[in-house]
Amino acid sequence: DQQVKQNSPSLSVQEGRISILNCDYTNSMFDYFLWYKKYPAEGPTFLISISSIKDKNEDGRFTVFLNKSAKHLSLHIVPSQPGDSAVYFCAGPDEKLTFGTGTRLTIIP
Amino acid sequence: KAGVTQTPRYLIKTRGQQVTLSCSPISGHRSVSWYQQTPGQGLQFLFEYFSETQRNKGNFPGRFSGRQFSNSRSEMNVSTLELGDSALYLCASRTGTGGYGYTFGSGTRLTVV
């Protein structure tokens, strides 16, 4: 049972444009969501989070939106930069951190 | 503050062998979790240890086991290796409870031939 789903395995975006990464979840008990960024041969690093009492959280170029009724969250990166090319995972915590399958973002110069 | 250290970084083993991976958490972190990353499967939770006790376990066969020592260092063992066990194994530590504050190591790349 995949409680956190990222249906787009890959996404290509031109440099300077907006990148939108999507994530759906099934577990209504999740009260906090996190996004991690992962480069090859490195561990994931925490990017941004959002509490379920909010519908938006912003940190610089990164904004996460949460739609609880749709059980959907999205990560917006604007403007996209070449260094943003990585795999992005969304995660929901219950007793452990449950990750989605990831979306590989490629920023085209 | 030193990060999460995983050793070795790379490992090649033969089918049927066993392997032990090591993880040293951030100082003061009492929880250590292990994840397996394979292409297309994302990060799959293996197990979590807290204060030397297994607190949570994922859906992996009994060939996968772990333990935690009194200094919070953790080891993961895989016996009777199969080709499908080839993956990046990641360790993450956190202070204790809650789904926040995970810090990951760089992982051990295991290749089974």
Nearest CA in chain A to B38: A101
Q: How far is CA A8 from the centre of its chain?
A: 11
- The answer to whether the bond into B8 is cis (omega within 30° of 0) is yes
Size of interface A-B (CB pairs under 8 A): 59
Q: What is the pLDDT of residue B95?
A: 75
Contact A99 B43 (CB under 8 A): yes
* Cα B56 to Cα B112: distance, rounded to the nearest angstrom: 26
Q: What is the pLDDT of residue A24?
A: 95
The yes-or-no verdict on residue A105 having pLDDT over 60 is yes
Q: What is the pLDDT of residue A94?
A: 61
* Cα B25 to Cα B6: distance, rounded to the nearest angstrom: 9
Other beta carbons within 10 Å of B26:
19
Q: What is the pLDDT of residue B1?
A: 61
Nearest CA in chain A to B102: A46
Q: What is the pLDDT of residue B90?
A: 96
Q: What is the pLDDT of residue A56?
A: 97
Other beta carbons within 10 Å of B71:
10
Chain A positions touching B56 (Cβ under 8 A) are 95-96
Q: Select from A36, A41, A95 the Cβ nearest to the Cβ of B106.
A: A41
Contact B43 A44 (CB under 8 A): yes
Q: What is the pLDDT of residues A37-91, one digit of tens each?
A: 999 888 999 899 999 899 999 999 999 999 999 999 999 999 999 999 999 999 9
Q: What is the pLDDT of residue B75?
A: 98
Mean pLDDT per 10-residue interval, chain B, length 113 residues: 90 98 94 90 90 92 97 97 96 74 92 97
Q: What is the pLDDT of residue B99?
A: 53
Task: Give the residue numbers in A contacting B (CB under 8 Å), as ranges.
Answer: 6, 9, 32, 34, 36, 41-46, 49, 89, 91-102
Q: Select from B41, B98, B106 the Cβ nearest to the Cβ of A43.
A: B106
Contact A92 B99 (CB under 8 A): yes
